[in-house]
Amino acid sequence: MFQTRRIIVLTFAAACAASGGFSRSDAAQATEQTPATTAPAPRSGADTRPYLLERVDDAAVVQVYADGFASLPLREKTLIYHLYEAALAGRDIYYDQRYAHNLAMRDIVEAVVSHPQGIEAPVIEELRRYTKLFWLNTGPYNNLTARKFVLKLTPSQLVSAMTQARKNGATFPVKPGESLEGLTKRHEPMFFDPHFDPIVTNKTPGEGKDLLQASANNLYQGVTMKDLEGFPEQYGLNSRVVKGPDGKVVEEPYRIGGRYSSQIAAIATHLEAAIPFAPPTMAEALRALVTFYRTGREEDRKAYDIAWVRDKNSPVDTINGFVEVYMDPRGTKGAWEALVYYVNEEKTRKIQMLAAHAQWFEDHMPWEPRFRKPEALGITARAIDVVVETGDSGPITPVGINLPNDQALREQYGSKSVSLFNVNEAYEESTPEGMRTEFSWTSEEADRAKRWGAFSQALTTEMHEVIGHGSGRMAEGVSSPHLLLKEQYSAIEESRADLVALYFLPDPKLVDLGLVAAADHDAIVSTAFEYYARNALVQLRRIREGTTIEEDHMRNRQMIVGWLIAHTSAVDVRRRDGKTYYVMVDPAAFREGAGRLLAEVQRIKAEGDYAAARRLFDTYGVHFDPALRDEVVSRVDALNLPSYTAVVMPRLTPRFDGGEIADVEMSYPLDLETQMLEYSSFARDADVLATPSAAR
C-alpha cells in the first residue's frame, strides 16, 4: 500500500492537512453524546450528524459513517462481519511491532481509566488525555513526528491511581510477587522519560549513528545495519530480526507457529469463517492468505498478492497482513494492518475512468521512454466505504490505497486502488474554516479552497493512487527498489505518485474523460497547486520538536515544494504582518517544474540511485527552519486548529437465529474510549463484539 496516507497518501496526513482533514461540527455537542446503539440516519440536505467528537491536545477525533451497509445483502453483511473479526484479532500485533513495551503500558493505563472511581480528578484527567493519545498513535510516539510523548504525572501519582483502580476491581500485568510500585518502576522510563527510546523510527540519526539502534520500534532487537550486511533474510517483509547473546543473528518469522502465532491463528480462523460467504475469486484470495499466514513463506505471500489483485469485481474486500514499510528505517519490514470495506458504486465512476485510461497516462509520462510500461496491465480502481481499520491503518487512517507494493508483481499483474470515500467525507465535514483562510495569501485563494478544495484533493488523491503508484517500470536488470534505496525508498515513491498527479492535473485529457468541466478546470488546478504549496508550510505545525522531518509523506511534500521554490518561478515565499506565506503564482511553471522533477525521481527509483535520492531529500526534504516552524505553530494554536485527525469506526453486532447469523447491525459508538476499550477486550474475549452494548 503506497498510501496517500497518510496521500496511503495523498496519505492520511496529506488529506488532513489538505482539505483540512479536521472537524467543523459542534465539538461540545459531539463530546457530550452518549454512545449510540443505533445508527443516526443522514438527513436530507445538510448532514447534521456529529463528525467531530473531541479534541485531544492537537489531535481531532471524528466519527466515520458507512451509510450503505444496511442495504447490503445478508451474505455480504455476514462476509464483512467475519472479516471485521479478523481485523480486530490482529490489532495487538501492530502494538507490539511499534514498541516492545506497548502492550504492558496499554494494560496499565486502560486498567486505570476503566476503573476511575475515587481517583483524584486532575490525575484521572491526565491519564485519560495520555491514554487517548496512546490509542490514537498506537503507543507513546506521535504518528507523524515519530517522537515520544510522556505522561504528565509523577510515578507516585500513577501508583496511587493504580492502587485505587485495583480497589475498584482492576487487574494489572504484574510479575509473580511484584508490587504496583515495582510494576511502575519497571515502566518508569517508558512513561515519564522523553529521552529514553525517544524516536520510534529514526531515518536521520546523525553522522556515525545506526538507523536501527536509533529507532525504538520492535522490528529489530540488538541488531545494527552492519550486522545485516550479507545476512540472508528469508522472511523480509514478515519477520523480526534478533541478535542473541551469542552474537548470532536470526529471524523470527510472523506466522502460525512463529512470532504472533496466537493472533495470526485467530485471524486465520475468522478468514476461514468468511470464505463460504465470499465470491469465488475472493475466496481464492482468502485461502491464499491463510496459507501465507501458516507458512510465512515469500512464495506464498506472492501467491496471495496475485490472487488478491486478480479479484477485481467482488463488492466486498479486505486488506489484512504485513503491508507498509514506513515504520522500518530500512524500508523492509511490513507493519501489520487490516481494512474491511465495500464498494461505493455511486462514487466509483470517476476513479474507474482513470484506471481504464491508465495506458494513455503511461504513454505520456514526462520521464524517459525506457521507464514506461508498454502495457499498463490489470489496474483497477474503486471508491469504497470502510467498515473497520486496525493496526497501521487505524485510528489514524489512509484516504487512498494502492497495492500490492511488490514492484515485480505490479509490473506483471497490475494493482488495485481504492479511495476511502467515507473517510474523506468525515474529514471534509469536520474541516475548520481557519485551515483554509489563515495561510491563504488572498481572499480569492481562500474562496477557491472553500469552493474546490474537497473536489481537487479527492481527484489528486485518486490520480496519486491509480496513475501514480500504478505507473512506471524499473530499468533493465534492476529490481527491488526498496532494497537499493533503503530509508529513502518510501519518500521517493510517495514523491513520484504526488508528482504524477500534479503533472497531469492541468492536462486537457481530464476534461476529455469527463472528470472535470472545462469551465472549472483552471480553478481546480489553481486550488490544488495553491493547496500543495501551502501545505508544505502548514504541515510544520505537526513537528513541534526538533529540526528534521522523519515521516515519509511529509518529507515528500516538503521536498517537492522546496525544489519548486529553488528551481522554478511557480511559488513565491512572501511575508505580510510578520507572517510567512507560500504563494503559488504560476500554474504553468508549477506543472513544468513538476514534470522535470518527476523525470528525475522516476530515474532515481528505476535505477535504484541511492546517492541521488539521499542528496535530493537532504537538500530539500528533511531539514527546516525551526523559527518558521514556531511561527506556524503559533498561528495554528491561536486559531485552535488540530495538527492531525483520527477516527472512530462503525461497530458491527450480529443477530442470530437458530445458531446462524440472521442479520448484522451497524451502530456508531461516537466515543473513542468506548471503542478502544472494547477492541482491547476483544483480544481477551472474542465474544464481546457479539454482545450488544446495552446487554453488557
What pLDDT, on a 0 to 100 scale, did the predictor assign at position 43?
A: 41
Percent of the chain with pLDDT over 70: 92
C-alpha cell, 163: 492502587
CA atoms in the 13 A half-sphere facing the CB of 304: 24
> Can you tell me the mean pLDDT for 164-178?
97
Is the pLDDT score of 638 beyond 60?
Answer: yes
* DSSP, res 34: P
DSSP letters spanning 149-182: ----S-HHHHHHHHHHHHHTT----PPTT--HHH
What's the pLDDT score for residue 686?
Answer: 63
Q: Higher-confidence residue: 390 or 46?
A: 390
Residue 380, pLDDT > 90, answer: no
pLDDT per residue as tens digits for the range 352-367: 899 899 999 999 999 9
Name the one residue in this structure whose C-alpha cell is 494489572: 172
The x, y and z cell numbers of residue 145, run together, are 513526528
pLDDT in tens, 57-99: 999 999 999 999 999 999 999 999 999 999 999 999 999 999 9
The model's pTM is: 0.85
Name the band, by pLDDT with cuts 50, 70 and 90, for residue 47.
Answer: confident
Confidence class of residue 3 from pLDDT cuts 50, 70 and 90? very low
pLDDT at res. 694: 39
Question: What is the pLDDT at residue 7?
Answer: 37
Pairing of strands 59-63, 220-221: unpaired
Q: Give me the pLDDT at residue 94, please.
A: 98
Distance CA 518, CA 74 (A): 43
Q: pLDDT-based confidence at 379, cuts 50/70/90?
A: confident
Residue in 237, 234, 210 with CA at minimum distance from that of residue 222:
210
Give Cα separations from 185 to 149, 158, 664, 667 (angstroms): 18, 10, 45, 41
pLDDT band at 108; cut points 50, 70, 90: very high
Question: What is the average pLDDT across 207-233?
Answer: 96
Tell me phi and psi for residue 655, to 5 degrees: -115, 125
The helix/strand/coil state of 385 is: strand
Q: Please indicate whether residue 217 or residue 542 has the higher confidence score (pLDDT).
A: 217
- Cell numbers for 621, please give them: 526534504
Residue 120's nearest CA partner among 152, 164, 90, 65 is: 164
Whether 568 contacts 593, CB under 8 Å: yes
Q: The cell 550486511 sits on which residue? A: 229
Helix H segments across 486-520? Answer: 489-504, 509-512
What is residue 346's predicted lDDT score, i.e. its pLDDT?
A: 84
Q: What is the pLDDT of residue 642?
A: 87
- What pLDDT is attached to residue 349? 82
